[in-house]
Structure 1
Amino acid sequence: MTLYDWPRAAAFGRVIPKNKIYEHAGANTQLKDLFVREVDQIVWSHKLAPETVNLPATKQVAEVQVFRITLRTATPDMLVLRSIDKAIPFPLIFELVHGGRIRTAGAYKKAGGADGTRWMVREYFQSAWQLEDTAREPLPVALTMGALYERLLEPLVAGRTAQLVPGYGEKAQTGFAGPEPEARVTLEERIAQTEAIERQTREVARIKARLGREKQFNRRVGINAELRAAKQELARLTAGGRVAQTDE
């Protein structure tokens, strides 16, 4: 998984007190305790904007902020990231640091609602842990801020799906999730597809567990039919089957 060499011009380097996140996220006592247990420091490290990366803003993405979170645990509750996303009205990319290692995380975030001020945040995706001194690479090529944001998230989404579907990562690098170029999908569609694959994988596992517990032959026949149908649906999704989009 790539670590990016954020442009020097985009450096921001501002430490964010936890109480500022609490104020903007409407944190309760439970959330505050979670931050105390799991978060050591929050740094607003870089501000990717038209004036810092020389890319034009789009309607959905004016800027992308990079937050570096020094953690006290290697397995933070995603509610921590969601609370920071709630407090900051821009798309975010997180760099999570713990014990000399680093990983990238992010959720697809877009403005919604009638006035475009309500931010919708989808599921979080994370890279594998790497050594903190791993060599960094230049930002991916993009023509707009919106495209840059998608290029930064795409490897995280592809990495999650590749864990479920061997070889999926290679297909995702070409910009489509199916055997033919006509199957090209947007990032939102790819995320929906990944989420659907995860749900269907859990459903196959659930039916298999039922089958393993069932002793009566006639009931096993019925469960086997369910299992075949569930496997067929999973095969359709992993082959690039489209998933209906819904606003959350």
Structure 2
Amino acid sequence: MTDARQTPVLFRWPATAAFGRTVPKTKFYAHGTVRTALREMFIDDIQRVTWAYKLADDTIRLRGTTAVPEVQIFTVETKGADVSDDVLTAIDRTVHFPIIFEVARGDRVRTVAAQKSLHGKAPTIGAYFTTDWQSAAGPRRPLPTALDLPSLYEALLSALLPIGMREGETVAEATERLDRTRRLQREIAALEKKLRTEPQLNRKIEVRRQLKEREAVLAELTDPVPSNKE
């Protein structure tokens, strides 16, 4: 599972967009390309999937495009502790619209979504970003102000990112920066471990140099206001 933002994110979906249609689980795993283990996840982990809201021109008066014709809100009710990203991906691949998920576990809920591109025959789905679990009865924030559905979708996704977005940055750019950040964090952890175990002084000096270089790049990547050098 991906990192969660500290600030809870539950949106107040417009009543005009309410859809409320239960979708049979078999719709997502009945075709032969779904592996047996994933089918078992649907059966064992999911109580119900509800197509809860449809954000579209005819429901919220925001124009769609071929890239984002509509945005769907799916509620996934769990039988147990959670559902995996593999299950969400299977649902995402079946529905040819961007989806924002609310995963519900009893009286707790988390918002989760991945950036989804509709170009080509099959949608391209990025990494999933999620909030922490929070009270389903807790306060909900209004939808972000937007001029059209693509900008609304971008704003909904940006609220889920575990890093703050820079001025003028797109979700795709922020996601790429996050990926670079995580790769650097893994490299730094490996270098720190190597530094602790390296017996030779000259090699320790070289590891320290590499460590400082990567820490400087990491600081630049995580700075919400980047320097002009980037």
Q: Could you tell me the TM-score, scaled by structure 1's length?
A: 0.82
For 2:158, which of 139, 154, 157 is the aligned residue?
154
Report the CA distance between 1:71 and its aligned residue.
1.4
Query: Which residue of structure 1 aligns with residue 122 of structure 2?
Result: 118
The answer to whether the 8 Å contact 1:204/1:231 transfers is yes
**Alignment partner of 2:199 out of 215, 230, 238:** 215
SS in structure 2 opposite 1:33? Answer: helix
Match of 1:34 among 37, 41, 48: 41
What is the aligned partner in structure 1 of residue 15 from structure 2? 8
In 2, the alpha carbon distance for the partners of 1:197 and 1:57 equals 33
Q: How does 1:4-153 map to 2 (within 5 A)?
A: 4-23=11-30, 26-113=33-120, 117-153=121-157
Secondary structure at 1:58's aligned position in 2? coil
- The DSSP-based 3-state class of the residue aligned with 1:228 is helix
C-alpha distance after superposition, 1:198-241 (max 9, x if no partner): 22112211211121222222221221122112112212211366
Task: For residue 132 of structure 1, report the CA deviation from its aligned partner.
Answer: 0.9
How many residues in Structure 1 have an aligned counterpart in Structure 2? 219
Report the Cα distance in structure 2 between the residues aligned to 1:43 and 1:25, rounded to whole angstroms.
23
The TM-score normalised by the length of structure 2 is 0.88
Q: Name the residue aligned to 1:202.
A: 186
Whole-angstrom distance in 1 between the partners of 2:19 and 2:35: 29
Q: What amino acid does structure 1 have at the position aligned with 2:217?
A: E
Asked if the contact 2:67–2:119 (Cα under 8 Å) also holds between the matched residues in 1, the reply is no
Contact 1:204 1:230 in 2 (8 A): yes
Distance 1:188 1:73, change over 3 A: same
Partner-residue secondary structure (3-state), 1:3:
coil
Q: Which position in structure 1 is the counterpart of 2:3? A: none
Percent identity for Structure 1 against Structure 2: 36
For 2:48 and 2:219, the matched residues in 1 are separated by 43
Offset of residue 24 of structure 1:
5.7
Q: Distance in 2 between matches of 1:212 and 1:104?
A: 40
TM-fit CA distance, 1:75: 4.1
Tell me the SS of whatever aligns to 1:121: strand
SS in 1 for 2:160: helix
| Partner-residue secondary structure (3-state), 1:112 | coil
Structure 1, unpaired ranges of 5+ = 162-168, 243-248
Tell me the SS of whatever aligns to 1:156.
Answer: coil
Name the SS for the 2:195 alignment partner.
Answer: helix
8 Å contact kept, 1:24–1:86: no
**8 Å Cα contact 1:25-1:86 kept in structure 2:** no
Deviation at 1:25, TM superposition (A): 8.4
Superposed, 1:177-192 pairs within 5 Å as 177=166, 184-192=168-176
2:81, 2:182 → 1: CA distance? Answer: 23
| Secondary structure, counterpart of 2:118 in structure 1 | strand
Unaligned runs of 5+ in 2: 1-7
